[in-house]
Amino acid sequence: MRTEAHTGGRVLVADDDAAIRRSLQRGLRLDGFSVSLADGGRAALAAVRDGAPDVVVLDISMPDLSGIEVCRTLREEDDDVPVLMLSALDEAADRVAGLQAGADDYLVKPFALQELVLRLRALLRRRPPAAGGRVRAGGLVVDPATREARLDGEPLALTRREFELLEAFARNAGLVLTRDQLLDRVWGYDFDVRTDAVDTFVSYLRRKTEAGGRPRILHTVRGVGFVLRDDRDGRGGPS
């Protein structure tokens, strides 16, 4: 692993293709990032544990340990470092597999360097402290200070991205949010990207919020977007 000293954020690039590693290192350095390199999945895990990067760029297909396996391992270790997955595979099932493993974003090769830079900046963008403390929406309570969410008094085990998406819904309970609005508020994108990531993460949240036979609180508004509505207790809002 090799590191260059810059100030735009510490990026770990893991790819078994040396030419791609060098190309990304040069390009990202020019945009002010500090870049560390790993030539495989096991090296990437070691680099994350030793170097605490701000964001990780993982190739999905590496011979020793795939990007999906690396990401899944990090999440199992409760490491919520943002992960952007790179892949030559453009099938929906492949993108879903990456997101299910805990990736925050998925970029298909070939891609423009500037798109990668914009996505990394979105992942690195720090959200301001939440105003108004806990947010209540019916039986849902979201606490940004502790990063905890409870539904009907029961804790929800959420990934970082799932929590941020649920918080966005809770802060706008009763209001229909479009996919583009959610991408902007949760992912921070200000350019054209796939919106199916929103649907994927909404499905994750539904699976968790509806566990044990609980009624649905995240509803689809066909042709528009999604709304958080707990019909048992009314709209709710910041407390």
Residue 220 three-state SS: strand
Residue type, 48: V
> Which two three-digit tokens encode residue 131?
């105003």
H/E stretch holding 155: strand 154-155
Which of 137, 144, 134, 202 has its CA nearest to residue 175? 137
Cβ within 8 Å of residue 217, ≥6 positions away: 137, 138, 139, 140, 151, 209, 228, 229, 230
User: What does pTM read for this prediction?
Assistant: 0.60
Q: What is the pLDDT of residue 169?
A: 94
Domains present along the chain, CATH in parentheses: 10-124 (3.40.50.2300), 135-238 (1.10.10.10)
Q: How do residues 139-195 score in pLDDT, each as one tens digit? A: 899 998 888 999 998 999 998 889 999 999 998 888 899 988 888 888 776 444 555
Going from the first residue of the chain to its last (239 residues), give the mean pLDDT of each consecutive group of 10, the final group possibly shorter. 54 94 93 91 91 89 91 86 87 81 88 92 64 77 89 91 92 89 76 68 95 94 91 49
CA 214 – CA 229 distance, rounded (Å) = 13
Q: What is the pLDDT of residue 13?
A: 96
CA 1 – CA 84 distance, rounded (Å) = 19
